[in-house]
Structure 1
Amino acid sequence: MLDDRLKAETGASEAVVLAGGLGTRLRASVPDLPKPLAPVAGRPFLEYLLVKLKSEGVRRVILSVGYRHEAIVDHFGSAWNGLDLVYAVEESPLGTGGALALALEKAQREHVLAMNGDTLVDADFRALCARRAAAGAPFAMLVREIEDSGRFGVCQVEDGRLTGFAPGLPGEPGWINAGVYCLASDFLSRMALKIPCSFEADILPAALDRHTLVVEPTRAPFIDIGVPESYAHAQNFIPEMARRYS
């Protein structure tokens, strides 16, 4: 267990949110909005993410945006709820890897949080950053145990280290990527990137051969709104979760 002092000393005050995807799977449920603005109990989903980040000590957020980004900028502006907001705009699709690389060019801190813009997990992000610092690693990933890994790829973990990836199996438990990372802000600049690229499918497997990548396990409440079924479930699930940190 990581002590509170280490978590306080190593927590991230800056974060990147990957919010530029096309959201094609959700288009039938939210036809006229970018996915981060998809309403959940009357509020844009991205608001819940930003509230969570603020509760974890983050003060500056770089929003990686693309599809219909003007709507996101119009809604949030350059500051929201005590957070400074900066935008990294994809002029053409870069993939999650290219989008993260573009956003990290605007980072001001040595290490940052990064998270997917369509997932929410009520975990301790300070513990994630402390895990990275304690291991002296450039990268740490939050992994979440689920009972049915059929919709996801699973993370292979050994002694707190990420060692590989495998397909999930319907009805089988597994540790999945929870979509939250703590990483050195120059992590991607150390790698030769072919843009567009996927952070999950291209960059992470390649990084396993070069770096020690560590994980922070959690069983905290988690939801992904990327498909209509989970988006419908989110309408009640997320407001209940958010009460714990709002």
Structure 2
Amino acid sequence: MSLHSAVILAGGLGTRLRSAVPDLPKPMAPIAGRPFLEYQLDYWLAQGIDHFILSVGYRHEVIIAHFGNRYRDARLDYVIETSPLGTGGGVLLALDRLDADQPFLLLNGDTYFSVDLAQLDQFAQASDSDWCFSLFRTTETSRYLGMGVTPSGRISELKSSQDGAECLANGGVYRVRPHALRGLLSQDRKSFEPGIAASLENDIFPSAFAAGQRMFGMEFKGSFIDIGIPGDYHRAATILNV
């Protein structure tokens, strides 16, 4: 297994969840008395991740005060957004904390997806991918980024469509080569740099796709929950079996 580090995007404002969790950043939303982020950390710790870089912003002091620099056997580092940077800006901010030559796991701080890390890593290595996406089937295609996928698993299309037709969609768990992100920073035609706001789905992914980076996806059928809206947040305890 070549993956030991993960970046967790935990800096969002969480405006859609405010009615249910008014005073906390989304990853700290309580599920059966524990922060959602603890369930995430537990899951990936059990699969061999021992270094987490938390990209934090809104109410970041709550996250840092709760976890500190260690959680169980894992080291925790933080990068702090002084203004909202979006999902793309959040990962760019963390780049300098990563080994330049080692792939890393990228996670959404408000999503739990029970992906088999060994399978994801093996597929990414076999396909020589720069970006390897964990995909799930959904009909909520206006909420999640749908993806066209060839029989070999190569991403052929990034697409949004109306709800109703089932498709494979981005599940918010990625295996990424750092040089793929750094390659985008050096492109004159698209300006990305740490400290500048950007969206993964609207900016980073389309630019990587247009640049011909190797983007592959693998379907997983494990438990999936995105706590970004109150209805799904209230279902989370059932999905997490707590």
The 3 A distance-change label for structure 1 pair 219 and 169 is: farther
Q: Secondary structure of the residue that 1:179 maps to in structure 2? A: strand
Instruction: Name stretches of at least 5 consecutive residues in structure 1 with no aligned partner.
Output: 1-8, 241-246
Count of equivalent residues: 231
Deviations 1:28-55 (A, max 9, x none): 1100111110001111000000001101
Once the 2 structures are TM-superposed, how far is the Cα of residue 185 of structure 1 from its aligned partner? 2.0
Q: State which of 90, 100, 103 in structure 1 corresponds to 2:94.
A: 103
Once the 2 structures are TM-superposed, how far is the Cα of residue 171 of structure 1 from its aligned partner? 2.4
Once the 2 structures are TM-superposed, how far is the Cα of residue 151 of structure 1 from its aligned partner? 2.9
TM-score using structure 1 length: 0.89
Within a 5 Å distance, the mapping from 1:149-160 to structure 2 comes to 149-159=141-151, 160=153
Q: State which of 105, 116, 123 in structure 1 corresponds to 2:108.
A: 116
Contact 1:25–1:228 (CA<8 Å) still a contact in 2? Answer: yes
Give me the whole-angstrom Cα distance separating, in 2, the residues matched to 1:219 and 1:124.
10
Which residue of structure 1 lines up, in the alignment, with residue 167 of structure 2?
174
Which residue of structure 2 lines up, in the alignment, with residue 187 of structure 1?
180
Instruction: Name stretches of at least 5 consecutive residues in structure 2 with no aligned partner.
Output: 186-190
Within a 5 Å distance, the mapping from 1:65-214 to structure 2 comes to 65-108=56-99, 110-159=102-151, 160-192=153-185, 193-194=191-192, 195-210=196-211, 211-214=213-216
1:61 lines up with 2:63 in the alignment: no
Q: Which runs of 4+ in 1 moved over 6 A?
A: none
Amino acid across the alignment from 2:205:
L
TM-score using structure 2 length: 0.91
Give me the whole-angstrom Cα distance separating, in 1, the residues matched to 2:140 and 2:230.
18
Once the 2 structures are TM-superposed, how far is the Cα of residue 161 of structure 1 from its aligned partner? 0.6
Give me the whole-angstrom Cα distance separating, in 2, the residues matched to 1:158 and 1:186.
24
* RMSD across aligned positions (CA): 1.4
Q: State which of 4, 29, 53 in structure 2 corresponds to 1:13.
A: 4
Once the 2 structures are TM-superposed, how far is the Cα of residue 163 of structure 1 from its aligned partner? 1.5
Which residue of structure 1 lines up, in the alignment, with residue 188 of structure 2?
none
Q: Secondary structure of the residue that 2:79 maps to in structure 1? A: strand
Percent same amino acid at aligned positions? Answer: 39
Once the 2 structures are TM-superposed, how far is the Cα of residue 169 of structure 1 from its aligned partner? 2.8
